[in-house]
Amino acid sequence: MAVTQDEPTISGQAASGRAPMSAVFGAAYRWTTITILCGTVISSMDSYIVNTSMPRVLEDLGEPQFYAWVASAFILAQVVGLSVAGAWKDRAGLRNPFLIAVAAFGVGSLFCALAPSMHILVFSRAFQGLAGGALSALCFAAAAVYPERVRLRMLSLISGVWGVIALGAPLLGGFITDSLGWRWIFLVNVPVCAGVIALGWLALKDTRPSDVRRALPVTRAILLATAVAGLTAAPSASRDIAVGLLAIGLAAAVVYARLEVRASVAVIPTDTWLGRGPVGSSLRATMFYTGAYTGAGVFLPLYLVQVRGESTTQAGLVLSVGGFMWTVGSIYAATRTGRWPIRLAIIGALLIALACFSIAAQSVLGNMPLPLIYLTWAGAGFGVGLAMLHLTNWALVYSPASQSGVISGATQTMRMLGSAAVGALMGAVLNAIGTDPEHLRMSITAIFSLTGLIALFPATLGRPKVSARLPSD
């Protein structure tokens, strides 16, 4: 039996109180829960598994100017998918949008697996990201239908799945690449998506549309993604193409800004771009934190595999350690109060910067023992975990309660934009300096030096403008 909006209790229990974790697998919810978790695995897996295979993709397809865009196109398309899926679900219910999103993700994965060139892979990843963003939003929307005390357990379970994927996906990606080849990272999604479609068809019942007239900022989301894509892609292109990309990016940015000013609720609070106030400064810091950490993570496998000669499995293990320490940092940060959150935000930025500068130094001075990479990247993961929990909390507690959903969406959008923009800009650096053996070390040095500087910004000039005493205290 699938969960519907009309089911207020679990097994006759009152809706108030604290439900056990097993409640999400009760008779009324079991197959819906399994379907949601499968959809979450699909949407989250390719956010982490692909990076470790990228050195092999570059060897096979070439075109280094598109290296970073394999990740950035996926992330930017997710921004649009998140907005479209929310409106679609409100207009059409849950099941059909969910099934179509899974099918589109499978098709996008097949396109990626068959891509004959790097630029085709980038377009395929964008299509896949559009479906992945939609699927992520729909999984959370499906969980929102549960009664409140079960819903909290379900959301916790979804977060746990993301944590497990962040730990295991990079290592799995390295193993698949070393044993079967990089195309199999995408090919395995096809039968998995087919299975989830069958499961969703049987498990999900159509919920009633909640608001067939509801309008979400789809146009503004597309304009924002286009602006970031155009402005960050231009440095990697030839002069003639770069001019066109800059023109497109600037035009999209201008139209986006005008629509945002007129909108009753902005996609991103306007104070964010100038870092004004506790909300704007926290959201801007979020963009720099995730941009530095994720941007560096895109190029760390390239350093490990192409410069140091490590296997992609080894590179995946290093990234997994960073993901694990992100979780540890978040857990530790949740126990600290008073002035500690502000200190932890600064310490977190310094740890990310230290890891980036350490890799840049090794690229210049020569390879140091691999455990040093593990240690510094673990510190970077721990650092971003220390900061992100409090940055998100500050953005929420300093905002009106009526805007909690908007601010939550803005936080996720700023994470994606930071990751995509920094990754694309570092890709431009890689393309400008070169990927041949004579220039690759210099490229790695420049990339990690710049990401280190980006990480320092939220600890210095871009510090969040918050106080030790929160409004809710």
Q: Does 457 fall in a domain?
A: yes
Tell me how far CA of residue 412 lies from CA of 236, 267, 278, 297, 395, in angstroms.
26, 11, 17, 18, 12
Is 348 part of any domain? yes
- Phi/psi-derived region of residue 157, left when phi > 0, alpha when psi is between -120 and 50, beta in every other case: alpha
Q: Indicate whether 4 pLDDT > 50.
A: no
Q: Give me the mean pLDDT over the 352-360 stretch.
A: 96
The pLDDT of residue 122 is: 92
Same domain, 420 and 358: yes
Instruction: Determine the pLDDT at residue 294.
Output: 87
Average pLDDT value over all residues in the chain: 82
What pLDDT band is residue 6 in, cutting at 50, 70 and 90?
Answer: very low
Q: Are residues 249 and 292 in the same domain?
A: no
Boundary residue ending a domain (177, 195, 211): 211
Output 69 or 123, whichever has higher pLDDT. Answer: 123
* 138 closest CA partner among 104, 87, 188, 186: 87
Q: What is the DSSP secondary structure assignment for residue 204, as one 8-state letter? A: P
Residues 228 and 273 in one domain: no
Q: Which pTM does this prediction carry? A: 0.74
**Residue 163 and residue 70 share a domain:** yes
Q: Note whether 397 and 286 are same-domain residues.
A: yes
Q: In terms of domains, do 73 and 137 share one? A: yes
Average pLDDT over residues 140-158: 69
- Are 254 and 283 in the same domain? no
Do the domain assignments include residue 7? Answer: no
* pLDDT tier, 265 (very low <50, low <70, confident <90, very high otherwise): low
Across the range 165-178, mean pLDDT stands at 84
Q: Are residues 87 and 167 located together in one domain of the fold?
A: yes
Q: Dump pLDDT digits (tens) for 235-254.
A: 777 777 888 888 998 999 89
Looking at the fold, whether 186 and 282 belong to one and the same domain comes out as no
Looking at the structure, do residues 345 and 395 belong to the same domain, yes or no?
A: yes
Percent of the chain with pLDDT over 90: 28
* H-type alpha helices, 67-182: 69-92, 95-114, 118-143, 148-179
pLDDT per residue over 377-401, tens digit each? Answer: 999 999 988 888 788 778 877 877 6
d(CA 208, CA 284): 37
What domain range is 327 assigned to? Answer: 269-473
The total number of structural domains that make up the chain = 3
Are both 294 and 244 inside the same structural domain? no
Distance CA 35, CA 41 (A): 10
| Euclidean distance between CA atoms 82 and 409, whole angstroms | 9
Q: Which residue has the higher pLDDT, 22 or 120?
A: 120
Report yes or no on 8 lying in a domain.
no
On whether residue 15 sits in a domain, the answer given is: no
Q: pLDDT value at position 442?
A: 94
Statement to judge: residues 242 and 389 lie in one domain? no
Which carries the bigger pLDDT value, residue 372 or residue 168? 372
Q: Are 307 and 440 in contact (CB under 8 A)?
A: yes
